[in-house]
């Protein structure tokens, strides 16, 4: 039985009638940019995270960039971020003219190591961007203390973790800004690109709204240089339909992860992900002892038509586009790039499909 890595069409087609209604509503409104759908989606998402403001953006990447621009981050500044993450986290920092300073991760949670971050703070450090990788919150207690101790701005990259919590607190509401992505593969996926910033700081919210629309206030009078970082009215309307299912989808992901944990417990040479409370399971990522075994398992699964992916095969401090930066010491990030493999965990999976994946993995490891 073939099992895809995920099936976004199945998820959307289950809501076909409601999505068609939302499309018709926007079509007939004649308002396609920054209308009521965006405003409502912003309010609803902010409320979910316990934040005062939501600012819809064109993507998760633009949410991160807009957060950094709103904080005035630029040339000469350093911003701490994990090396083991999706490129956008560091790419956004570099695009402001600031320097990404790469921090190592914890092998068991895949998330930023606050002690290593502390050791890499300099007088130029202005901000830190922890990533809630694979749907699991980073250690916001330690990172919050670090940010406070060094007066750093704190931006949560919550792109992969919509619906996750840290000690009961929703991600996206704990820093100066929270950045979300609604790329179709995320926990809450649009039918295209979309993102959102959350903040509880009134002045920062105002600044982000200004910069989202070319810094114009009033229209055609530009106080600052921003960009076009707007969320489409259509995507907001579709996301408002889909968000009603988010809790259910996360519960299904959590159930799937639990099933893997029990089916794969004790498998030789296989390290299962830490199953902390509040995890939203955007990915179920296992580890093998080394690159050779990991690549062999990936090939074995592919041969059986079982979807899998390596998130991420190269750490960011090793990327050619950052070769001009001072070399960063992130041994765990390098180790993880050789060990990790993500298995299908999407909400629509059947029990039989999970059993099939688990069987294929254990047959290989045995
Ligand atoms: C997906 C993702 C982003 C970027 O989101 P886009 O909507 O694709 O621009 C940023 N950071 C992380 C960790 C992501 O996984």
Q: What is the pLDDT of residues 243-264, one digit of tens each?
A: 999 999 999 999 999 999 999 9
Are 301 and 355 in a shared domain?
Answer: yes
Give me the mean pLDDT over the 166-185 stretch: 97
**Is residue 162 within 6 Å of ligand 1 at its C-beta?**
no
Rounded to 10 degrees, the C-alpha dihedral 299/302/306/307 comes to 90
Are 178 and 47 in a shared domain?
Answer: yes
Are 207 and 279 in a shared domain?
Answer: no
Are 147 and 56 in a shared domain?
Answer: yes
Give me the mean pLDDT over the 334-339 stretch: 98
The Å distance, Cα 58 to ligand 1 centre, comes to 11
Q: Is the pLDDT of residue 198 over 90?
A: yes
- What is the crossing angle of helices 331-339 and 291-303, to 10°? 30
Supply the residue whose CA is at minimum distance from atom 6 of ligand 1. 60
**Is residue 187 within 6 Å of ligand 1 at its C-beta?**
no
Please name which of 67, 314, 12 lies closest in space to residue 182, comparing C-alpha atoms. Answer: 12
Are 223 and 293 in a shared domain?
Answer: no
Q: Are 207 and 85 in contact (CB under 8 A)?
A: no
The Å distance, Cα 105 to ligand 1 centre, comes to 18
pLDDT at 349: 96
pLDDT at 215: 97
- CA 141 – CA 174 distance, rounded (Å): 10
Within a domain: 1: no
Within a domain: 129: yes
pLDDT at 210: 98
Are 57 and 202 in a shared domain?
Answer: yes
The confidence band for 334, taking pLDDT boundaries of 50, 70 and 90, is very high
| pLDDT per residue as tens digits for the range 107-138 | 999 999 999 999 999 999 999 999 999 999 99
Within a domain: 124: yes
**Is residue 346 within 6 Å of ligand 1 at its C-beta?**
no
| pLDDT per residue as tens digits for the range 136-154 | 999 999 999 999 999 999 9
pLDDT at 1: 86
Within a domain: 3: no
Are 204 and 115 in a shared domain?
Answer: yes
Number of structural domains the chain divides into: 2
Give me the mean pLDDT over the 187-211 stretch: 98
- Tell me the residue range of the domain where 326 lies: 246-365
Within a domain: 48: yes
The confidence band for 351, taking pLDDT boundaries of 50, 70 and 90, is very high
Supply the residue whose CA is at minimum distance from atom 10 of ligand 1. 88
Helix (H, G, I), strand (E, B) or coil at 170: strand
**Is residue 135 within 6 Å of ligand 1 at its C-beta?**
no
pLDDT at 275: 81
Are 166 and 269 in a shared domain?
Answer: no
- Which of these three, 213, 243, 273, is where a domain ends? 243
Are 80 and 97 in a shared domain?
Answer: yes
Q: Show Cβ contacts of residue 254 under 8 Å, excluding neighbours closer than 6 positions.
A: 279, 280, 281
What are the CA-CA distances from residue 67 to residues 142, 203, 212 (Å)?
A: 22, 12, 10
| CATH classification of the domain holding 12 | 3.40.640.10
- CA 235 – CA 214 distance, rounded (Å): 21
pLDDT at 9: 95
Give me the mean pLDDT over the 170-197 stretch: 98
The Å distance, Cα 178 to ligand 1 centre, comes to 12
Are 194 and 281 in a shared domain?
Answer: no
195 Cα nearest atom in ligand 1: 7
Supply the residue whose CA is at minimum distance from atom 5 of ligand 1. 60
Give me the mean pLDDT over the 155-170 stretch: 98
pLDDT at 249: 98
Look at the chain and count its residues.
366
Give me the mean pLDDT over the 164-182 stretch: 97
**Is residue 170 within 6 Å of ligand 1 at its C-beta?**
no
pTM: 0.98
Can the peptide bond before residue 39 be classed as cis, meaning omega within 30 degrees of 0?
no
Q: Is the pLDDT of residue 199 over 90?
A: yes
**Is residue 181 within 6 Å of ligand 1 at its C-beta?**
yes
Give me the mean pLDDT over the 305-319 stretch: 98
- Which of these three, 243, 274, 298, is where a domain ends? 243
Pocket of ligand 1, candidates 68, 134, 135, 160: which has the most ligand atoms within 8 Å of its Cβ, to mutate? 160
pLDDT at 233: 98
Are 220 and 331 in a shared domain?
Answer: no
Are 312 and 346 in a shared domain?
Answer: yes
Supply the residue whose CA is at minimum distance from atom 7 of ligand 1. 60
Please name which of 132, 128, 131 lies closest in space to residue 117, comparing C-alpha atoms. Answer: 128
133 Cα nearest atom in ligand 1: 13
**What radius of gyration do the chain's Cα atoms show?**
21
Within a domain: 2: no
The confidence band for 276, taking pLDDT boundaries of 50, 70 and 90, is confident
Give me the mean pLDDT over the 306-333 stretch: 97
- Which of these three, 183, 216, 243, is where a domain ends? 243
**Is residue 183 within 6 Å of ligand 1 at its C-beta?**
yes
The Å distance, Cα 56 to ligand 1 centre, comes to 14
Within a domain: 315: yes
The confidence band for 286, taking pLDDT boundaries of 50, 70 and 90, is very high
Give me the mean pLDDT over the 294-306 stretch: 98
**Is residue 80 within 6 Å of ligand 1 at its C-beta?**
no
Supply the residue whose CA is at minimum distance from atom 14 of ligand 1. 159
Within a domain: 184: yes
**Is residue 356 within 6 Å of ligand 1 at its C-beta?**
no
| CATH classification of the domain holding 285 | 3.90.1150.10
């Amino acid at each position: 039985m073939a099992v895809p890595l995920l099936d976004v069409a199945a998820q959307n087609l289950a809501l076909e009638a409601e999505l068609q209604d939302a499309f018709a509503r926007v079509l007939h409104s004649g308002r396609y940019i920054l209308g009521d759908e965006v405003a409502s989606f912003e309010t609803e998402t902010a409320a979910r995270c316990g934040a005062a403001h939501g600012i819809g953006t064109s993507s998760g990447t633009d949410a991160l960039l807009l957060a950094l621009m709103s904080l005035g981050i630029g040339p000469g500044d350093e911003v701490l971020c994990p090396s083991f993450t999706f490129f956008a986290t560091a790419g956004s920092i570099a695009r402001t003219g600031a320097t990404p300073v790469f921090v190592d991760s914890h092998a068991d949670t895949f998330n930023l190591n606050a002690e290593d971050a502390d050791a890499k703070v300099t007088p130029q450090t202005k901000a830190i961007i922890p990533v809630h990788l694979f749907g699991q919150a980073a250690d916001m207690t330690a990172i919050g203390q670090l940010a406070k101790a060094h007066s750093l701005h704190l931006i949560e990259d919550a792109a992969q973790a919509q619906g996750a919590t840290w000690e009961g607190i929703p991600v996206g509401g704990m820093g100066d800004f929270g950045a979300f992505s609604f790329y179709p593969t995320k926990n809450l996926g649009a039918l295209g690109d979309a993102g959102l910033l959350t903040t509880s700081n009134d002045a920062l919210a105002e600044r982000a709204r200004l910069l989202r629309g070319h810094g114009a206030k009033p229209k055609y009078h530009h106080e600052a240089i921003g960009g076009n970082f707007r969320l489409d009215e259509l995507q907001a309307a579709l996301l408002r339909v889909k968000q009603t299912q988010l809790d259910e989808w996360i519960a299904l992901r959590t159930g799937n992860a639990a099933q893997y944990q029990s089916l794969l417990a004790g498998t030789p040479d296989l390290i299962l992900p830490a199953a902390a409370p509040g995890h939203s399971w955007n990915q179920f990522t296992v580890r093998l002892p080394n690159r050779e075994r990991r690549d062999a398992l990936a090939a074995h699964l592919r041969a059986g038509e079982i979807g899998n992916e390596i998130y991420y095969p190269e750490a960011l401090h090793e990327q050619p586009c950052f070769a001009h930066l001072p070399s960063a010491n992130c041994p765990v990030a390098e180790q993880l790039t050789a060990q990790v493999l993500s298995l299908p965990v999407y909400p629509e999976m059947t029990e039989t499909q999970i059993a099939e994946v688990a069987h294929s993995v254990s047959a290989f490891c045995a």
